[in-house]
Structure 1
């Protein structure tokens, strides 16, 4: 049986306690911890503008990933706590959806100069430079998620505040419609 090293967020998948594979951290007061990150893919194309070869960033895609080998739980395996951790995963998807269009529009139809002495070098540098540009924007999105997740954990008291958790659960339910 192969272990999933990374789980992408999908409408039909819900976390299970068996997805939390790391050893718990005794120095942390939390009963569980989810590591959730964004991953992106993209393509580049080139165009000649005023006699210069320029590159364009196309087809940016963004994925929400849960990292089982970095996520852990102590011994309290309650359904409420699991639902709370699923909420962290869902929140990352919500942040992605709310901000993805802006991320795409930053690069849409923008021409960027490239460097290199030949066609092959220009392609390589365009891929490298475009990846760095997108990574900067995705890092901003990751920080936004981290801030909102911190608020979510505080608001719900890690799932123990049932009323607040229920409010978030209603929001997250809309992601699966």
Structure 2
């Protein structure tokens, strides 16, 4: 018995300028390389100098990240604290033009629960940058530090689309 199946048909690959499918495959590969409860901040640097950012979570990372964010916001943590705590638990790597920041979320949770805060000199440095940027752009300087940026999808995706 002979017949034709879809496997017998030649595969035709059409050129595309959309990098999304390739980037999705890279993100999936990176997720496989990291342990559960990890938040990945992935930057694809383009040849034209631009960049595209992807956020991804390994198993258990999304609910844990959202829990961390709820606790941090409830405790009044801000962007300075997010940077400080994130730096303590980030692993940085690169694959060609791809930069990956992987945040182990259990230690981040422990820091938030323990009340870890940014050192005052770093907090003041961030305020100074904000004041300088406001002055340079003719805006009124903010007196408060920006809010906690987030480790979970609810907050991270809200900030990304804002």
Q: Same fold (TM over 0.5)?
A: no
Normalising by the residue count of structure 2, what TM-score does the alignment of the two structures yield?
A: 0.28
When you count helix as a share of all residues, which structure comes out higher?
1
